[in-house]
């Protein structure tokens, strides 16, 4: 590929597009289905199939702990993992702004290829569009995935009073990392996004006979959004002990500085699990075997009433509703 910048012709459906697809995407994501070059990939799926989609418009494209490519693979793979499905096949839709540096595209594509190895999922079909300068902000990605459901019945509607709520690690890192990148901040601690593929960890949880009711990665809207959606979907009350929710000091500090709530900040490799209280310690033990989950914690429990509400018990003994976040949260975090 001799060109340094993406041109409109790279999306035109002709010679240049063919070269870009073969020279870059086919090389990085190499597999027989992708190379079959039909209008659609042909898959042999068995059992129940999970199907999910995500578009990625994160700004900036590169941030501490990841980039839009890593995010696009981890994000869709994680959505499959959260319903107990083994990630199998992904599609990739790419919208590139004319003039985008070819080297940056290459770095992002390599980052995708690296992240795919963590779950074994394969990109089997794709689409490339180029829009004129000024019509997009660098690069947008869409990944859509299918996977085989290993454990049926995991559902936002399945929570029951008496369940414990676990979080897999300290919260808010992704939102904080994006905020830092956008504000040009550098912390001595080297705070990074939690962006990660969760399938390996989830697979280990599923090997054990835990009766997992629900799992959800706490992306946009953070922990607050997940818990509120669960409380409504299952018609239960969720009680959270604020003091038990792990938050890194740097994340807490950034939140105080910029007026954000750690509970509302996005995560990209942090998930919440609900399962019977009696199994909570066992699940915690499994989670803690994974480096990224060393701060996993039991943060609350599922109660009867008031239905559809999340209550936060503060360390000072007061109680308040934890609401679904509203208004302009940190935009374009994924």
Nearer to a copy of itself, 128 or 239 (CB): 128
Q: Chain-centre distance of CA 60, in angstroms? A: 17
C-beta of residue 168 within 8 angstroms of C-beta of residue 293: yes
Buried b (16+ CB within 10 A) or exposed e, 306-327: eeebbbbbeeeeeeeebeebee
State the Cα–Cα distance between residues 212 and 163, nearest whole angstrom: 10
Nearer to a copy of itself, 111 or 234 (CB): 234
Q: Give min distance, CB of 276 to a copy of itself, in A.
A: 20
Burial class (CB in 10 A: 0-12, 13-18, 19+), 185: middle
Q: Give min distance, CB of 333 to a copy of itself, in A.
A: 9
Q: Which residue reads 């240049």 in tokens? A: 16
Nearer to a copy of itself, 4 or 326 (CB): 326
Q: Give min distance, CB of 154 to a copy of itself, in A.
A: 8
Q: Give min distance, CB of 136 to a copy of itself, in A.
A: 6
Nearer to a copy of itself, 132 or 243 (CB): 132
Q: Give min distance, CB of 191 to a copy of itself, in A.
A: 21
The angle formed by the CA atoms of residues 207, 123 and 86, to the nearest 5 degrees, is: 15
User: What is the token pair recorded at 6?
Assistant: 């993406």
Nearer to a copy of itself, 244 or 323 (CB): 323
């Amino acid at each position: 590929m001799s060109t340094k910048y993406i041109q409109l012709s790279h999306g035109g459906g002709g010679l240049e597009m063919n070269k870009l697809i073969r020279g870059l995407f086919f090389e990085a994501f190499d597999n027989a289905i992708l190379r079959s070059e039909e209008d659609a990939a042909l898959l042999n799926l068995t059992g129940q199939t999970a199907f999910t989609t995500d578009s990625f418009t994160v700004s900036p494209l590169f941030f501490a702990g990841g980039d839009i490519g890593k995010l696009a693979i981890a994000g869709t793979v994680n959505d499959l993992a959260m319903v107990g499905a083994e990630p199998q096949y992904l599609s990739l839709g790419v919208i590139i702004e004319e003039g985008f540096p070819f080297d940056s595209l290459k770095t992002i594509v390599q980052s995708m290829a690296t992240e795919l190895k963590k779950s074994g999922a394969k990109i089997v079909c794709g689409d490339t569009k180029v829009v004129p300068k000024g019509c997009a902000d660098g690069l947008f990605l869409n990944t859509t995935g299918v996977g085989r459901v290993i454990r049926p019945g995991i559902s936002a509607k399945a929570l029951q009073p008496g369940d414990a709520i676990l979080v897999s690690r300290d919260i808010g890192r992704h939102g904080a990392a994006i905020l830092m990148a956008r504000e040009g901040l550098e912390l001595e601690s080297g705070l990074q996004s939690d962006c990660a593929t969760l399938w390996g960890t989830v697979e280990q949880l599923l090997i054990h006979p835990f009766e997992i009711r629900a799992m959800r990665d706490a992306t946009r809207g953070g922990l607050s959004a997940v818990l509120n959606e669960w409380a409504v979907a299952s018609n239960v009350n969720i009680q959270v002990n604020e003091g038990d929710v792990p938050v890194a000091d740097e994340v807490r500090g950034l939140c105080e500085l910029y007026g954000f709530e750690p509970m509302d900040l996005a995560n990209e490799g942090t998930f919440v699990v609900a399962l019977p209280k009696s199994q909570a310690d066992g699940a915690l033990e499994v989670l803690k075997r994974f480096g990224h989950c060393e701060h996993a914690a039991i943060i609350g429990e599922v109660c009867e009433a008031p239905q559809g509400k999340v209550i936060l018990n503060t360390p000072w003994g007061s109680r308040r509703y934890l609401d679904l976040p509203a208004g302009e949260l940190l935009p374009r975090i994924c």
